[in-house]
Amino acid sequence: MSYLQELNEVQRNAVTHINGPVLVIAGPGSGKTRVLTYRIAHLIESNIPPWQILTLTFTNKSAKEMKERIISVAGKNAGQIWAGTFHSIFARILRSEATKIGYPADFSIYDSQDAKSAIKEIVKQRGLDGKVYSANAIYSRISLAKNNLVSPEDYAKDADRILDDKKNKMPWLHKIYELYVKKCKRSGAMDFDDLLYQMHNLLEQNPDNVLQKYRDRFKYLLVDEFQDTNQLQYSIIQKLVVYPNSPENICVVGDDAQSIYAFRGATIQNILNLEKDFPNLTTYKLEQNYRSTNHIVQAANDIISRNSKQIKKTIFTAKGEGEAIRVIRAMTDNEEAKQVADLIVEQKNREHLANDDFAILYRTNAQSRVFEEALKARRIPYKIYGGTSFYDRKEVKDVLAYLRVITNPNDEEALKRILNYPKRAIGATSITKITTIAEQENLALWTILKNIHHAELAKRTTDTIRAFVGMIEMFQARMATESAYELAKYVVKMTGILADIKKEKTLEAQGRVDNVNELLDGIKSFVEDDEVDEFQTNVEDKTIASYLQNVVLLTDIDKDNEEVKRVKLMSVHSSKGLEFPSIFIVGLEENLFPSMMAIKSKTARAAIDEERRLFYVAVTRAERILTLSYATSRYRFGNMVYNNSSRFLEEISPKYLDMSTATARAKISKGISRSPSMSSYVKRAKPNSAQAEKMANFTPSPMSDIVAGVKILHERFGSGKIIAVEGNGRSKVATIFFEQGVGEKRIMLKFAKIMVVG
């Protein structure tokens, strides 16, 4: 058993404790996977037949890797263990036992598209409005019900659920749930959630044969990432393990401090209450971190210590003190992105790091835009991990297609994209027919649409196309009098793009709404930007055409080349399980991280705790270098919003922070529920509410008053002094030294919002 020599004392005890219930609390970077795989290997080495061992994971990849590692330690015989995801293992059992609950052994498994198609058919058959009864929203609601063990009958009796559905204008959702379950059973099909839900029903309805059979087969049960289990998963586990005279040979591995999937139905209570459910539980705490340096580890301890419900532990490391955590305070989100990009260049040179040694983590995917643009401006290759680049996201491309058609109606690809989006009864057959006419007559598609009465189409289709053409021409007419931002905002409103996305009423749909709003905020920033720097060209042109040109240049700079090492951009949720030498956690502002939804939640304490765990996960991804950043202002829904720094920043002891940069010296601004630690370390800036009040009385001065030597107030950069003014007429550029650590900037006066104050 030489593998035991590779473990520290606590790890070794967790591995060799074979019998009875065991909880392994695995802190970040503490060797969790090694402990789990070596424990299984040790069971086999202790003459436990491998087919009596059931290991449940959350990804097929982790199950496969675990099996390979166990085989390398315990030999090929170890390949007979049952190891896989909850869904794959339960599907395997259901194939053998499904007839006992009225399903065929060869039942079909519906993917999400199959399930939504079935729901759409039910909605149509019931004569309900498909726009209101969105298949995505209904599927999400049914999934949540199943994962909380709520049957259609229970759902119909739940007053709170029925009230919620009525508020969402879907009072018949409970009936759709009932019909959907019947339809699936009639079709001999289970959806993805049914693999858990019907597994529970199978065990519940067949206690003497099926349940006892699998209790006898699985003598040892192990669960990875236990903090991510939901109510349904844990209920199945309990059925298999908890019964009279059971040896309760269960080992769960997880970390309550990394429970971040409540929005998917996971409940932290499963791991917090484990000792109540298993009174003989033995707990091992893996507290040594093998990943990060001491400044990072101690900062993480500071953060998580604030949570109200947790299993207490103190993470430590032997990897040395390391660098203090740098804090960046930027005046705007664009400035924040530029500083992050500059710091990546600096660290590459100073620390000899490669692009793929870096990751930028944000709370919401919509935040990626400014960082993508900053990296592209500096020719730094990057990749969105587990997602799509901002300008490649469908909803963003849809809005941009409208803007492209407005500026150039002969843009056929853009025109085809939006002709029936949002849906306006111009079907694929009609579009093919119109396109064929255009090709035969060698005319632009737009020309055919403008003269649609020549085409032999149904009157309804012809009328719809005329209305579409009229709408585009109305947009074109407004282009001459409205700014690029005002026009884009009007286009989004009048086309119904946001309304079309919102009707889904899902978290994914909210993310798409955020992306559209972020695009609009990007256009607003483009229009309002008065700063001149080396990366900008033709700064005087603020038209839609100019904006679209900039977007094309941005998206064309760095075409994918898999051989090129890239900086990773990702949401904090996507970063779980990963690690990088250098991590940037960005957008650390109140109402962003923690999110506004959490702060305003009915259960705000629990929601803030989850946000704090999310921040803890982000911090502990860093191996050597950690940078935290925030912006004091950013555009939100087209308005300049002034932000307080995140409360989480002040929960880190100042002895672990590097506040030496020029921007960081401008202080972390006062917010809510603050600790005294930061206030004792730095002199505070005035709260941003005061800054917002000052800006409420802001009145831009005429260009003629802006001369060298005067003191001024800028809408974004605050107080400053004019150093010099160069150029003539509307091409004047002012060099201004700003206070609060912002430094010197060159501002195009034609677009500047500057008030002379002295």
Q: Which residues are catalytic?
A: 32-33, 224-225, 258, 621
CA distances from 520 to 143, 496, 513, 631, 702 (A): 33, 15, 11, 19, 28
How far from the centroid of its chain's Cα atoms is residue 519's Cα? Answer: 17
Say if residues 100 and 92 touch (Cβ distance below 8 Å): no
Residue 207, C-beta contacts closer than 8 angstroms, at least 6 positions apart: none
- Give the integer Cα–Cα distance in Å for 68 and 570: 29
Which phi and psi (to 5°) does residue 589 adopt? -130, 150
Residue 625, C-beta contacts closer than 8 angstroms, at least 6 positions apart: 322, 323, 326, 347, 351, 581, 582, 583
- Give the integer Cα–Cα distance in Å for 334 and 528: 12
Helix (H) / strand (E) containing 469: helix 459-479
Helix (H) / strand (E) containing 641: strand 639-642
Dump the DSSP string for 512-546.
HHHHHHHHHHHHHHHHH--B--TT---TT--SHHH
What number of other Cβ atoms are within 10 A of residue 653's Cβ? 16
Within the chain, what is the greatest distance between any pair of CA atoms? 91
Spell out where 257-395 has E strands: 282-286, 288-289, 316-317, 325-330, 358-362, 382-384
758, with CB counted inside 10 A (0-12, 13-18, 19+), is: exposed
- Give the integer Cα–Cα distance in Å for 754 and 716: 9
How far from the centroid of its chain's Cα atoms is residue 33's Cα? Answer: 25
CA distances from 284 to 311, 314, 376, 683 (A): 11, 13, 47, 43
- Give the integer Cα–Cα distance in Å for 140 and 509: 11
- Give the integer Cα–Cα distance in Å for 693 and 311: 43
Q: Which residues pair with 747 in a beta bridge?
A: 531, 734
- Give the residue carrying structure tokens 């309550």: 256
Say if residues 618 and 260 touch (Cβ distance below 8 Å): no
Question: Which two three-digit tokens encode residue 754?
Answer: 């500057």
Computed from CA positions of residues 202, 205, 206, 208, in that sequence, does the dihedral angle turn out positive or negative? positive
CA distances from 458 to 419, 427, 433 (A): 16, 11, 12
Residue closest to 81 by CA, chosen among 35, 109, 42:
42
Which phi and psi (to 5°) does residue 198 adopt? -75, -25
Helix (H) / strand (E) containing 747: strand 743-748
- Give the integer Cα–Cα distance in Å for 457 and 462: 6
- Give the integer Cα–Cα distance in Å for 625 and 579: 11
- Give the integer Cα–Cα distance in Å for 565 and 571: 19
Could you tell me whether strands 718-726 and 633-636 are parallel, antiparallel, or unpaired per DSSP bridges? unpaired
